[in-house]
Chain A
Amino acid sequence: MSARFPAVRAKDLGIKFYLRGAENPTVHSGMVRFLKRKPARREFWAVRNITLDIPQGQVFGIIGANGSGKSTLLRALARIYFPDEGELEIRGKISSLITLGAGFRQELSGMDNIYYNGIILGLTKQEVEAKREQIIEFADLGQFINEPVRTYSSGMRARLGFSVAVHVDPEILIVDEVLVVGDAAFRARCAEKMRELFMRGATVVMVQHNMDVIVEMCQRTMWLDKGNIQMVGEPLEVVNKYLASRNLPQIEAKPATPNPGVISGG
């Protein structure tokens, strides 16, 4: 671990979108627009001026109201959105848990999807073979593992998705608010797996709406407001400032337990 090379370093990062109204661009839409004399599109900066260092091994939380740019920032860190402004440096193998089961093929069995998704997420064929049993055991779908994914409930699909993604052994794990799925037992196992990743020194960037989870698990927290950094610092302090701004009750200091707590929220 080295302080000289943070896992994630963003400098003046900005991601913009274009607002086109309800118009779907087609081959002839440019002509229609010209005839109607309407402006083509408006810029909208989902996040802007993000300057940020996340050291290796840190659990970093992002909070903020809906539409404040949390998911956009996560997607930028996962290299899905390219910086429209500024720089972004990422050091380490990334795995993103933005949507669980991203890229699952509905017609294929859970077993096949483990294989294909494992490789899409960056494992080699041999690694998938080696981890297959673990993934199946972790997802705990029983006989359904050989059934097509389209027959799964959304909870089952999410379990399989989480199971594949965490077995990629990422150095940087990017987690959107996806851990609220599954029953209590599965959530406990997820928390166990996440702790295992922390112990290995993985960097975790997570978006959470559950403030207790943020205070319990994160070492540092960022409050994002309308695409700008409102505050970065000690989780409890940031969370309470954020809650205060929304006229919500404050959170007590976290209990002094050595282990990060279970992701119990939902």
Chain B
Amino acid sequence: MSSDPKRKPVTRLRARSAEAPRALDFDSLLVENARKLVGFREYIKEMWHRRGLVRVLAGRQLKSQYELNVVGFAWWLAEPLSLAAVYYVLVAVLTKRQDHVYILVVLVSLLSFKWFQQSVIQSMNTVRGNASLVTDIYFPRALLPITETTIGLAHFGVGLCILPIFMLFLKVAPTPNLVWLPLIIAVQLIFNLGAAYPMAVWGLRYRNLPNLMGNIIRLWFYLSPALYELTRFSNGTVKFIMELNPLTGLFESYRRVFALAGFTPTKVCPKCATIPHYYAGAPHPALLWTFVLGCIMLVVGAWYFTRKETQFGKEI
């Protein structure tokens, strides 16, 4: 009714709220101590009701960061591209590794890692960053970490768009395994959100946590098979420990569906970059572990967030 643009808003009288509350009436709420009546399920429904806010908050931030045009999008790519160049120079050139496909291996995992890093770090700052909203307007605060993760996803999506250019240039043919890509992205979305929720609570409470986590996450990156492939490890125990890292499943799976995993550097010669001696495949089995862990983290984290959210206005 309110969405009809033909009706003149000046003359419209807003319908009063119903006499008795409907089964799910967000306009009439009983807010009770310790969220007894506004329970977790009702909260989720309210989030759904106001889901449009995610697009608005994300769009607003992106628009103020970059003007939304082609040049703006190019800026998004500058960081992962320059980082990939740095790692390429460091590893491929200095160690005389001659498979140029390596730059793709690095780029894919870098883009994925950047998304994870951004979700966690930005979520830690998101409540304080939106302080003027949080202290003055009510909306389900759980939308804030979703907003940060969505912004990261937008960056990630644009980043993925440059992969085909590299693949064309390096003569890496896409395979039908690319159909798995949305699934891997979905798993990472769940995992990122699961990490973002508790971090948003703790990042607000402990002011120096974002700095600390920035270092921890960077260390985590080097311990994950991002700059190197899991296939490099022959020791079963090391491999198993590596696979317990939830980022392993993601990085390896992205590589596999982009047909970049498993090539052995020893076989690479200057001329054989066109020979597909690396193999494509379905997502790495460790992705299942990432998914399970991500689901647990998301449910527990979101529940924890909604419990702590009620104090955000005071903690800022």
Contact = CB atoms under 8 A, between A and B. Distances in A.
Interface of A: 1-2, 4-5, 17-18, 24-29, 56, 75, 78-94, 96, 98-99, 102-105, 107-108, 112, 116, 119-122, 124-127, 129-131, 134, 169, 171, 200-201
Interface residues of B, number: 48
B5 A200 contact: no
Contacts, number: 142
B17 to A, nearest CB: 5
Which secondary structure dominates where chain A touches chain B? loop
Contacts of A17: 314
Given A2-B19, A171-B17, A81 B206 contact: no
Contacts of B274: none
Contact of B2 (A104, A127, A171): A127
B53 interface: yes
A25 to B, nearest CB: 6
Given A89-B29, A119-B52, A126-B5, A102 B14 contact: no
A48 to B, nearest CB: 13
Interface stretch (B179-187, B207-215, B251-259, B280-288): B207-215
Contacts of A29: 206
Given A80-B313, A119-B56, A171-B27, A131 B32 contact: no
Contact of A102 (B21, B29, B35, B132): B132
B61 to A, nearest CB: 8
Contacts of B135: 75, 80, 98-99, 102
B33 A91 contact: no
A171 B32 contact: no
A87 B27 contact: no
A31 to B, nearest CB: 12
B132 to A, nearest CB: 5
Given A27-B212, A105-B60, A201-B16, A79 B2 contact: no
